[in-house]
Amino acid sequence: MFYTADNAKIQINGEEILASNASISVSASLQPNYLITERSTNSYSPSNGVGGSLSFSYYLTGRDYFKTFITGQGEVPFSESQTISGNFAGLNFNSGYLNSYSVSFSPNAPAIATTSVSFFDDLEGEFNPTTGAAPSNTEVLNFKNASVVGTFAAGEVDNFIAGTYNYNADVKPVYLINETKPSSVSFGPKTVNINFEIDNPTGYLPVSGEAASISVDLYNEANARRENFMCSGLIQQRSLATAVSDYVKQSITIIQNSTEASSTHIAGVIDSSFGLGCVGVGTVGSEVGIATT
Amino acid sequence: MADLIFYDKAAVKVTVGNTNEVLLASDCSVSFSSSVQPLYTIGRKGSLGQFPSAARAGEISFSFLTSITGEHDKQPGNIINYLASGIKGSINSNASGALIQVAGLSGTGFLSSYSFNVASNSVSTSSASFTLFGSGEVANNQNLNVPISGRLANSDFSPSTGANPAAATNSVLATGIGHGRFTNLDGFRTELTGPTSNGTIFGADYSISFNHNPIYKVGQEFPSCTYYTTASESMNITEDVFNSGLSFSGVDVGDVMLNVKGLDSSKQMQVGLSGLKQINSSASVGLDDIVRTQKTLVAAY
């Protein structure tokens, strides 16, 4: 019996995802048991727990649920919501973690995100085909309705042509003795990077990198802001490329290694007369306030 | 009911920089299209809707009599030939486009193809096609940025001959049209030696196509700028000599000037072809006809 894509609904934490494609895989780690003097065997032993991954691309229609995992996953306070349960046409898992997330910014193109969720248990359930009509009132965001703002320590950029936003997290299961399903996971480094093609060819890149940030806002047709992708870190790579019949393309890559939900820093000090004041005890001036972002 | 525009009120006017010309067009077509595609989701039947996937773009194409009495920047010939010569000879990549106006519709487009033919005892006809991408330049009126704007209306442009529209009398126009009677294409004929055999040319079809690269960016529908990249030129010659000596690397023809003349043989339109190579030879015959041969000459810029 064969089924079509129309019959394979995907749900994450109980919510249906408008995915354009999806794939799920599960694998067991087995190693062959060889005996001395033997070079073939039919005996195997598990060397690790069962696990797999669910990858899918989906249309951005508004506030993206998965982006909360970028800032929240693995951060204090821990909560149950950090675990992702997935259901792909009836095959389901309960201990998933966001592994990667990316969005490509292409001019005039529909906004599509691609994610990969790792899970560390076996798949439960059975393939259960569903039927149903597509929702008719969906608004898919488009990068025609986007604004890009960049802040650079040096130089100016007038045009942001296209780019990608990527999030990667290192998630490892922690197994206790007698466990095949991990009782906890270990969150390693999380990285956000943004790669953008811009219009000012330069090779300037100091050894310590260059502070920069790029923020991409996505709007709906009613011009209401529905999504934001922000990467604030250091430019760690510049590239310049061209080919016959093409123009010279300059790309930068900003890498951000801090992915907390918000950061607070002293953006400025304002005195009682709303002018920029001085910082620190003992400085001359009246009361000061601290603006945070 | 909308006003009906008869063909005599749909003149085609092309403006390039500071020069313009109303062409002797015999037909014209304008198209404007938006690119939408249905999006589908797994687990559901039917589409989520149809969503844009690329910027809107337009195309204007027209055929016209090959007028040769015009003069643009001291180059004789019609404005399309002037534009094509300028682009292919350009060493600059920035393309500014040409303003095309017809029957109340207008837009700035980039010449994508231009062709004309010359045949014995026949009036030469040309055709041109423009691609319109629109412009991302900020303007007070957003409509100015779209590829094609306006609504159908009479365009009462009088036929002109370039820099001196006042000279566009019917008599000047009649003798200022390319014709095969006095156009000499001997520079393109096949010449064989031992024994000597020189071809007789019955006709020629010239065409050139241009590639333009619009640069689109996130957050803006229309391109920030458009670059001219490459051009490829070809000429199909019909004659009566078959050259079987076609080599692996083609036959070098070199630089040739094509002079298209009208019935007043003192006037001519020039097309310079550089680095021509013959890449093809063919022969064909039909009932009640002589064996005719064709060869294709190509050049690239």
CB B83, CB B228: distance < 8 Å: no
Return contacts of B180-183, CB within 8 angstroms, 24+ apart.
B180/B118, B180/B119, B180/B120, B180/B121, B180/B122, B180/B123, B180/B124, B181/B120, B181/B121, B181/B263, B182/B261, B182/B262, B182/B263, B182/B265, B183/B118, B183/B124, B183/B259, B183/B260, B183/B261
Contacts of A130 in chain B (CB under 8 A): 43
Question: What DSSP state is assigned to residue A110?
Answer: B
**What are the tens digits of pLDDT across the range B158-173?**
766 545 555 555 555 5
- In this predicted structure, the answer to whether residue B32 has a pLDDT above a threshold of 90 is yes
If asked whether residues A280 and A178 sit together in one domain, one would say no
Q: How many domains does chain A have?
A: 2
Q: What kind and span of H or E run contains A68?
A: helix A67-72
Contacts of A10 in chain B (CB under 8 A): 42-43
If asked whether residues A236 and A158 sit together in one domain, one would say yes
Percentage of residues of chain B with pLDDT beyond 90: 67
What distance in Å separates the CA atoms of residue A260 and residue A264, rounded to the nearest whole number?
10
Task: Determine the distance in angstroms separating the CA of B202 from the nearest CA of chain A, rounded to an integer.
Answer: 36
What distance in Å separates the CA atoms of residue B65 and residue B78, rounded to the nearest whole number?
10
- In this predicted structure, the answer to whether residue A76 has a pLDDT above a threshold of 80 is no
Closest by Cα among B22, B25, B264, B43 to B166 = B22
**Four-CA torsion B45, B46, B48, B49, nearest 10 degrees:** 180
If asked whether residues A61 and A136 sit together in one domain, one would say yes
**What are the tens digits of pLDDT across the range A54-72?**
999 999 998 787 887 887 7
**What are the tens digits of pLDDT across the range B48-83?**
999 999 999 999 999 999 988 777 777 778 999 999
Nearest by CB to B42, which of A10, A109, A110? A10
Contacts of A22 in chain B (CB under 8 A): 42
If asked whether residues A276 and A212 sit together in one domain, one would say no
How buried is A163 (Cβ within 10 angstroms: 0-12 exposed, 13-18 middle, 19+ buried)? buried
CB A89, CB A7: distance < 8 Å: yes
What distance in Å separates the CA atoms of residue B104 and residue B30, rounded to the nearest whole number?
11
If asked whether residues A183 and A278 sit together in one domain, one would say no
CB A166, CB A192: distance < 8 Å: yes
Contacts of B211 in chain A (CB under 8 A): 245
The secondary structure of A112-148 as a DSSP string is EEEEEEEE-S--BS-------BPPSS----BTTSEEE
Task: Determine the distance in angstroms separating the CA of A110 from the nearest CA of chain B, rounded to an integer.
Answer: 6
Domain hosting A275: range is 264-293
- In this predicted structure, the answer to whether residue A278 has a pLDDT above a threshold of 60 is no
Percentage of residues of chain A with pLDDT beyond 70: 86
CA atoms within 13 A of residue B195's CA, in its CB half-sphere: 0
The answer to whether A87 faces chain B, any CB pair under 8 Å, is no
CB B49, CB B38: distance < 8 Å: yes
Contacts of A109 in chain B (CB under 8 A): 53-54
- In this predicted structure, the answer to whether residue A279 has a pLDDT above a threshold of 50 is no
Question: What DSSP state is assigned to residue B5?
Answer: P
Predicted confidence at residue A293, as pLDDT, reads 36
Predicted confidence at residue B11, as pLDDT, reads 87
If asked whether residues A251 and A274 sit together in one domain, one would say no
Confidence of residue B143 (pLDDT cuts 50, 70, 90): very low
Nearest by CB to B52, which of A136, A142, A245? A142
Nearest by CB to B42, which of A5, A160, A247? A5
If asked whether residues A232 and A285 sit together in one domain, one would say no
**Helices marked H in A200-270 — which ranges?**
none
Nearest CA in chain B to A5: B42
Structure tokens at A149: 């703002």
Mean pLDDT value across residues B13-24: 88
Residue with the two structure tokens 């890009």: A148
Task: Determine the distance in angstroms separating the CA of A216 from the nearest CA of chain B, rounded to an integer.
Answer: 9
If asked whether residues A277 and A157 sit together in one domain, one would say no
Task: Determine the distance in angstroms separating the CA of A75 from the nearest CA of chain B, rounded to an integer.
Answer: 32
If asked whether residues A176 and A279 sit together in one domain, one would say no
Single-letter code of the amino acid located at A95: S
Closest by Cα among A185, A34, A193, A23 to A103 = A193
Which residue would you say has higher pLDDT here, A186 or A201? A186
Contact A135 B93 (CB under 8 A): no
- Cα A143 to Cα A60, B95, B125, B216: the distances in Å are 11, 25, 44, 11
- In this predicted structure, the answer to whether residue B298 has a pLDDT above a threshold of 90 is yes
Pairing of strands B75-76, B98-102: unpaired
**Helices marked H in chain B — which ranges?**
79-88, 170-175
User: What ipTM was reported for this prediction?
Assistant: 0.81
- In this predicted structure, the answer to whether residue B252 has a pLDDT above a threshold of 70 is yes
Confidence of residue A77 (pLDDT cuts 50, 70, 90): low
Give me the total of CB pairs closer than 8 Å, taking one residue from chain A and one from chain B: 116
Characterise A209 by phi-psi region: left (phi > 0), alpha (psi -120 to 50), beta (else). left
Q: Which of residues 95-114 of A touch B (CB under 8 A)?
A: 105-110
- In this predicted structure, the answer to whether residue A287 has a pLDDT above a threshold of 80 is no
CA gyration radius, chain B: 22
Nearest by CB to A245, which of B213, B216, B224? B213
Q: Which residues pair with B68 in a beta bridge?
A: none
What distance in Å separates the CA atoms of residue B167 and residue B158, rounded to the nearest whole number?
11
**What are the tens digits of pLDDT across the range A97-133?**
999 999 999 999 999 999 999 999 889 999 999 999 9
Write out the residues of chain B at the interface with chain A, using a CB-CB cutoff of 8 A. Answer: 39-49, 51-55, 93, 211, 213, 215-221, 224, 227, 229-230
If asked whether residues A224 and A286 sit together in one domain, one would say no
If asked whether residues A272 and A229 sit together in one domain, one would say no
Q: Which residues of B26-36 are buried (b: 16+ CB within 10 A; e: fewer)?
A: eebebebeeee
How buried is B18 (Cβ within 10 angstroms: 0-12 exposed, 13-18 middle, 19+ buried)? exposed
Which residue would you say has higher pLDDT here, A260 or B125? B125
The 10 Å Cβ neighbour count of residue B6 is 8
Contact A246 B54 (CB under 8 A): no
Percentage of residues of chain B with pLDDT beyond 70: 91
Residue with the two structure tokens 């920089």: B17
If asked whether residues A113 and A193 sit together in one domain, one would say yes
Contacts of B46 in chain A (CB under 8 A): 133-134
Contacts of A92 in chain B (CB under 8 A): none
